[in-house]
């Protein structure tokens, strides 16, 4: 199975725009069954997006690690589950950067998410200075992020876990739209799968690529079998481009 996740980040700004966008994506993707398409809107639009989702799945962009209690401003995995959400993005590099999220906090969120039966999408990826030292350094860094971020996870959670490899420098808003080289991304994704097997006993994990994926370059990534799908930021806000991307990926199946 391939997965395409639309990470809307802190967009759009009105409910009308959110409903309009999900409605168009749901209508355009209604015949595509082989791909799991997931929309992750801001929390405030989750309910209205769920109402218009058609065959799509809906995810949140973050979560807390307790199910209820005195945690001002937080949203729990149980609340998300009860709403009908099925995916949660965790440890996105923007949260690591702007909110100071640590691997320790991220591992608590991953564990709470999968224990509640939701699918956790753990984001990992190195900064430019690390990649500049070579792909082996990037692998080492990502391996550490996986070991720490998945602390306490074992193979019984394997099907609830998705990893998104997103080199920080490749995210469009950081880099001005420079994606990774598809062959390098595929190599690191294969390495991530090896680590998931050797460290956690997870034998067929789904590992996505993210970072400036667009209608122009998605075919070059989708041509690599090891890439199980995509985490798409800015291009997911353009319904025509996003639908085209879904079609391109389905043409590889
Ligand atoms: P981008 O964002 O596709 O705009 O590079 C990807 C992400 O941050 O998840």
pLDDT for the residue numbered 216: 96
Residue 80, C-beta contacts closer than 8 angstroms, at least 6 positions apart:
46, 60, 63, 88, 116, 118
pLDDT in tens, 72-119: 999 999 999 999 999 999 999 999 999 999 999 999 999 999 999 999
pLDDT in tens, 168-185: 999 998 877 799 999 999
Give the number of other CB atoms < 10 A from CB of residue 124.
Answer: 28
pLDDT for the residue numbered 138: 98
CA separation for the pair 197, 199 (Å, rounded): 6
pLDDT over 90 at 133, yes or no: yes
Cβ of 213 closer than 6 Å to ligand 1, yes or no, is yes
CA separation for the pair 121, 212 (Å, rounded): 18
pLDDT range class, residue 154, cuts 50, 70, 90? confident
CA separation for the pair 203, 199 (Å, rounded): 11
Cβ of 7 closer than 6 Å to ligand 1, yes or no, is yes
- The DSSP result for 147-167, as a single string, is HHHTTT--GGGGGGEEEEE--
Cβ of 91 closer than 6 Å to ligand 1, yes or no, is no
Its sign, for the CA torsion 161, 162, 167, 170, is negative
pLDDT over 90 at 19, yes or no: yes
pLDDT range class, residue 55, cuts 50, 70, 90? very high
Q: Atom 6 in ligand 1: which residue has the minimum CA distance?
A: 233
SS3 category, 86: coil
pLDDT for the residue numbered 214: 96
pLDDT range class, residue 135, cuts 50, 70, 90? very high
pLDDT for the residue numbered 174: 82
For 56, half-sphere exposure in the C-beta direction (CA atoms, 13 angstrom radius) is 28
pLDDT for the residue numbered 5: 98
């Amino acid at each position: 199975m391939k997965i395409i996740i639309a990470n809307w980040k802190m967009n759009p700004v009105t409910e009308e725009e959110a409903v309009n966008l999900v409605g168009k994506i749901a209508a355009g993707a209604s015949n595509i069954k082989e791909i799991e398409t997931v929309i992750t809107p801001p929390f405030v639009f989750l309910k209205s997006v769920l109402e218009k989702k058609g065959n799509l799945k809906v995810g949140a962009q973050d979560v807390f690690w307790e199910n209820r209690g005195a945690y001002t401003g937080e949203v729990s995995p149980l609340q998300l589950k009860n709403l009908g959400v099925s995916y949660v993005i965790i440890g996105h590099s923007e949260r690591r950067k702007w909110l100071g999220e640590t691997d320790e906090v991220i591992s608590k969120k991953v564990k709470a998410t999968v224990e509640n039966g939701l699918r956790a999408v753990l984001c990992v990826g190195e900064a430019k200075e690390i990649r500049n030292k070579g792909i082996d350094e990037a692998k080492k860094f990502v391996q550490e992020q996986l070991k720490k971020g998945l602390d306490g996870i074992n193979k019984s959670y394997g099907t609830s876990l998705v990893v998104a490899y997103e080199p920080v420098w490749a995210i469009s808003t950081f880099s001005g739209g420079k994606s990774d080289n598809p062959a390098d991304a595929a190599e690191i994704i294969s390495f991530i799968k090896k680590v998931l097997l050797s460290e956690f006993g997870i034998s067929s994990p789904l590992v996505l690529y993210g970072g400036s994926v667009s209608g122009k370059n998605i075919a070059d990534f989708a041509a690599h079998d090891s890439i199980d799908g995509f985490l798409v930021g800015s291009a997911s806000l353009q319904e025509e481009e996003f639908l085209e991307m879904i079609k391109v990926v389905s043409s590889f199946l």
